[in-house]
Structure 1
């Protein structure tokens, strides 16, 4: 354990992370990577409003521990090409891209780590490609059958997801501000413990007051990295997936599948996502084990929606312990 702690304290050396583009499914997709090609592979899947950079602390940590870390920008995000028709992009496109990226890199087994809507990309990949999966770690959410999730999602019309599902509404809301303000506001909003819900005569951006400070663990330099990339990509694909795309192949028909791979779910106790009605009960009651029998649930007190950036050393330790325990699964 002492050796593990030493690895966790290693400062993040961003210049050691390399970048390249892969021609995948007709698009040029960007990946960040660090570590030896001969090492067990770990792929990191981001959420919104993130890009590959959200995983910077974890990438350094797993590479220092002897793994190969890969973090792509989804199509239409960051430095990756947008799809030809962004308003038709789907979850399935993202899942297929991940599978194709791994094929391009000649990776036959991979650990998958994901957060936010990336969790659904991850679980879809794992269910469709069991033979490629060494294990999965998800932050903030566990696999939940769609019918149960719809039942739990009983929130007012002002819930940000429902607002952003409406074509044009987020575009109009965001369009009142520059990209920096939009990203700043979303990061501040999603870092809070309250579910983002607007009043009837209010838009989501109005939930953050001007000059509200960034979270203490998120710097102006971090913000500038996000802003530069969203100024390039815009929000068109990001609003389509996850908010407006309903197509998600979880690999089953009538019967809900089980996630058979070793799984860790990291739940932040101050994450607004865990406050969605029914979600916490689903985890704490043990119902989740009906669908993920080989799951370890870890609760992080005071953790926010961005716990991996808020408490990187703690999250790194959890991930490295999981990887070390399951690395006998060969590449």
Structure 2
């Protein structure tokens, strides 16, 4: 993966609302270089590097990874404008409700079929099969908090909602469908003190007792590292969030071998493995690109007969 170039780009939503293109991104995608969105989370950056590694080994293209695009909407706009060719981590439940503005479904296969069909028809983008894991939202508490209040499921928070300081993903707080408004309607209560946060900061915040409850991602390695308790979504509010790469049809048409290279990653990473990869980066401080490279080498993806 010696050709792999990591490009760190910090953006606010201003460019989207102003109708402007993303400065500097357009030049990163060319006939010889494929631009991949890595995202703001460790997970999305690892997946971005996995996709890049496969592309550089199995095609004649080089890659550029655009990290730190902070929301699904920003990533989506980058793809629509042609500033990016591949989104390495798109999640069925998120795009179903926030991008397509459709009703959520509890059926993972139905969700996958809908986003696959709609992304092709609306955006001429190909939604690939899942990597093999579902990264759903999950409410997390420390063990002492769980024991103090007898917490096992989300509904258990209702009677103590006014006593808790809660931290939640900033994007989740305002989005339609599976966001906070939908949560309040489904569960019938709201928190008196809930603070919007960058998703990557919530784990440290609850571990350091700055928060009582946080909303995190189920595949984050810090759940095990901090010995946090996951509360069961007993009303099944959150839809499936199976992770997949999404690729523009144009770059698929222009790049022989690209489709097969990306499909090699389908169904190969389950939830436990994704937690392990995230933990390696977040806890052991290994760069996401190195975590990805080790995974590909250890699982023989760089061998011509690898499946």
Task: Give me the TM-score of the superposition, normalised by structure 2.
Answer: 0.38
Task: Give me the TM-score of the superposition, normalised by structure 1.
Answer: 0.36
